[in-house]
Structure 1
């Protein structure tokens, strides 16, 4: 059944009034109380008949797709022109996102490989999602939810599954005064975004077209709904907080097939769990409504690269940049990365808001002078570059930005002009990961009595692998309002007091098992994964309870409950038990996943 606009309003009104047929107060259970069972795979007894699939296809208006990966043709003929073209096209993240069978990351050594679902419902409406969820539950199928397909953990794909693909649910609507259903609050400027939209399109609608700001992701091809459910840090989170903290309301289809509105007044525990509890774990989010903030006059960037002449000089350089950050940059104006590398180079790739170019120059001048004053120890591999532009044009693909290589565009014929991405993010498209991990670094490490130990740990970690200090992915120094909003989410509270998230990763690209000439280098991958583990161990010496960010973490993390959610995990587990007691929604290292086999097919006793 399709829902027209009138039907949709009636559904929302029913949800707000708590009168849906499905009960809103579901019993709490423990996973151990659930009886063991297995999901059904193709060819096994219980797999739906062709007629059953045909009926589902009719129910969703022809949106059921029999999925076949284009990579299969590459495996069969790796030297063919078609395979060459495919491997080139995969480097376009919009091409990858528009293919139901592909994911942006193609796998992870010894962890997972991107494999397509057997069928996918390319949902155009909430009713399509309801039909898919009911079909999966009734037929005991492994269900996968894919929006942007950006998961490093492989959570948006699984062989032998039914996929709910939300890419076509990408409508964006601005609101001058939004009031969440069932609430009596002051109307706020907001934007409603379909689950399949990516941040490039959200920024175009909110910033370029409407002159506002919505807190989203730094990578423009990440799915909006997935980022919100993971917590959601962006370049300017030090000012505006997390995407989850800006969530005002969500529409979600839960495991019982009910369409629910979740906000602070209606289904408040579900609402809280959706804010950082992990994408695809509590239901299928079909739409999110986010607060729109006032847009500053300017956004800007600072870039430079510095090389040290020796390890000893490099350790001193790390000390200089950490001290400079602590004294001048840990505030709402600054975000993005300071990267330390094994080759004794330090790269600054930071952004700013609320400042003009002159003010940004003043903020960095003491550090620039310190480097320049020691030519025997350091030199600029690339000179400091500081620039600003109108904030309203930050995500617009102007001719100048395209020509200068600052902004890349979807090069497919007829592609929308709003399909833009940062060239640096292209490295993620088609990657095969060797390893990945993260750790929040508490602001207390910047104190005079602890800074030396922090710098020693950063230097020791850099002897094993490169790492980035993502200063926007820790809210120490953010305004009280942003911290308060982020505190009321399921994200690990350790991020509230962190000055940065340290991220370490290694990959090759494009690579895929079975494609001759492009197979992952497993031996090298394992060595690089070990190097990342040694680097993380150095950071854990000074931040033993540092936690990790759910979207950017180690696939093999054994203590994911504590690392991802910390003290919030028991409450999140209770939300999972209430709204998905049978575990229909499974993702690797997601809440409740410990009750299932690693592939999500078998319930554990």
Structure 2
């Protein structure tokens, strides 16, 4: 009888958890009982959800099968708004292991999703969820919008805190942080954790103000800011993390702390660039607001034969001139598309492909670069030397160049026109690396070959985020230094390599993800070995992520993590302290 008892699967699971210090799963004997979950639900006034994946309506074996609703889900599957509004779903389904797609012929289960979701609307809801997770050793994840290219806002066998309905924004003309003896003399906005950048911009515009944030309106403010956060205004006003003045945060012990330059200064350092989902659950943030400004946008499009030497020589020449353009005050985004007929071309050009009359097999380089509070003549004057170099090049007859300028009276009118490039509802990853003046001053052949090596059939495009400029380089954040890497302070552009694969194709996924890390991004690491990466836009398998994300600040961040979360209540990967955990093949999270 004793031998039979010892062989029970649950006893084996109990031993594994005890020895390895693992988070419990529904298969664990220590998984909370139904009465435990019901008690949590009562504590938070009925806000505990046990939702099915949204695409389950497409699957006959699921209890909520509904063909007409499946049409709705399928139609909205590529919308960030749809995924943000769902308690489980995230923008890229590979982070849920493609567990339930809107394809009736694909499998559907909840294995890649959180089991329960706390629909938090207050800090006390968050505190209850954190306490429950800590006391019962349940994995905890945090989702605001699900717009995270590293998959940090989801996790299997977990309890999720969904902050989407923590709403509100208030403005203050002379903010005084809690615990400080006097006001700062700065205007500010206090923003709840569920707010997205588009609605924050709109609220600020009503005050004739603006804030630093991303260019995708559905991005959540907390994930953006705690990762550093850049956008169209960063070249003037710095990073989103540089503008943070105060946080309200629930830490691993369930306490609600107010963090700023006068109290809990170590956490104030960490939250400004140390990543979301690591040190606690931020329930609100107060940021500096700034005067509105006019924007002039210079739009350039270069057309060449697909993947030709002329195309790549042009690409290298443009990159070598980016430091001069950035020094002059231009900032913005660009893309390098070697072949307009590729899958990447279809995603980038979309419905514009026909109107552009490009024909098959074209290579396209396009940018939209901004200059603040200056007229079109200033932007044109900065770009003209580059245009002359291109016109005088030995390959000038093999390219065509078109330019135009657009002037916007304020940031709101600019944001209505220019929206960040995003493709969601598909399987994919993105790699990224900063290129600084040193890297871009190398031989043009080196630049060309490095950029060519990033192109693969799985990707096929280079995205450039030249959003730093003097506002980032010369930033002086309140309260002293913050956690963002020093590499930000010299970066000219962030070079991004998106890749994708067919859902549920394990072999293709393995090949594509390996190539991203070991070929595409390796080429950029060789070109710029001394820089780093933006932790919100990077390959989850970035080698030595601690140094790439934070440089010499990692040691301090790890110490802060161990001070405020010694048990590892908060886990995400790749995040501070995640190297001490491992995900077992069955999805269970265990300490190493």
Is the shorter-chain TM-score for this pair beyond 0.5, marking a shared fold? yes
CA distance in 2, matches of 1:212, 1:37: 49
Within 5 A, what are the aligned runs for 1:456-605? 456-462=449-455, 465-472=460-467, 475=468, 477-478=470-471, 481-482=474-475, 488-507=481-500, 519-532=503-516, 533-598=518-583, 601-605=588-592
Alpha-carbon shift at residue 363 of structure 1 (Å): 2.5
Match of 1:93 among 80, 98, 102: 80
Match of 1:199 among 191, 197, 200: 197
Which stretch of the first structure deviates more once superposed, 123-132 or 332-341? 332-341
Alpha-carbon shift at residue 55 of structure 1 (Å): 1.8
- Equivalent residues of 1:169, 1:196 under 8 A apart: yes
Q: 1:356 to 1:555 in 2, by over 3 A?
A: same
CA distance in 1, matches of 2:232, 2:507: 35
- Equivalent residues of 2:434, 2:495 under 8 A apart: yes
Alpha-carbon shift at residue 344 of structure 1 (Å): 4.2
Q: 1:177 to 1:345 in 2, by over 3 A?
A: same
Deviations 1:75-123 (A, max 9, x none): 4489944333212112222121011011111115989999331111111
Q: Secondary structure at the match of 1:547?
A: coil
CA distance in 1, matches of 2:552, 2:167: 34
Alpha-carbon shift at residue 143 of structure 1 (Å): 0.7
Match of 2:23 among 30, 39, 56: 39
Deviations 1:38-91 (A, max 9, x none): 222124222222222222112112211112112223344899443332121122
Give the aligned partner of residue 189 of structure 1: 187
CA distance in 1, matches of 2:41, 2:58: 29
Q: Secondary structure at the match of 1:188?
A: coil
Q: Give unpaired runs (5+ residues) of structure 2.
A: 1-17, 101-110, 340-361
Give the aligned partner of residue 453 of structure 1: 446
CA distance in 2, matches of 1:489, 1:66: 38
Alpha-carbon shift at residue 248 of structure 1 (Å): 0.3
Q: Secondary structure at the match of 2:29?
A: coil
Deviations 1:143-198 (A, max 9, x none): 11111211112111112211111111121111111111112353210001101111
Q: 1:321 to 1:480 in 2, by over 3 A?
A: closer
Q: 1:564 to 1:346 in 2, by over 3 A?
A: same
Give the aligned partner of residue 421 of structure 2: 424
Alpha-carbon shift at residue 523 of structure 1 (Å): 4.5
Give the aligned partner of residue 306 of structure 1: 303
- Equivalent residues of 2:295, 2:370 under 8 A apart: no
- Equivalent residues of 1:148, 1:226 under 8 A apart: no
Q: Secondary structure at the match of 1:482?
A: coil
CA distance in 1, matches of 2:330, 2:479: 18
CA distance in 2, matches of 1:310, 1:583: 48
Q: Secondary structure at the match of 1:83?
A: helix
CA distance in 2, matches of 1:486, 1:550: 22
Q: 1:182 to 1:451 in 2, by over 3 A?
A: farther
Q: 1:482 to 1:337 in 2, by over 3 A?
A: farther
CA distance in 2, matches of 1:299, 1:123: 41
- Is structure 2 residue 48 aligned with structure 1 residue 64? yes
CA distance in 2, matches of 1:112, 1:589: 22
- Equivalent residues of 1:198, 1:220 under 8 A apart: yes
Q: 1:327 to 1:602 in 2, by over 3 A?
A: closer
Give the aligned partner of residue 242 of structure 2: 245
Which stretch of the first structure deviates more once superposed, 113-122 or 58-67? 113-122
CA distance in 1, matches of 2:296, 2:120: 36
Match of 2:112 among 111, 115, 120: 115
- Equivalent residues of 1:299, 1:394 under 8 A apart: no
Q: 1:178 to 1:393 in 2, by over 3 A?
A: same
Give the aligned partner of residue 342 of structure 2: none
What TM-score comes out, normalization by structure 1 length? Answer: 0.81
Alpha-carbon shift at residue 431 of structure 1 (Å): 2.1
Q: 1:79 to 1:65 in 2, by over 3 A?
A: closer
Q: 1:333 to 1:174 in 2, by over 3 A?
A: farther
Give the aligned partner of residue 400 of structure 2: 379
Give the aligned partner of residue 351 of structure 1: 370
Q: 1:550 to 1:424 in 2, by over 3 A?
A: closer
Alpha-carbon shift at residue 232 of structure 1 (Å): 0.7
- Equivalent residues of 2:57, 2:66 under 8 A apart: no
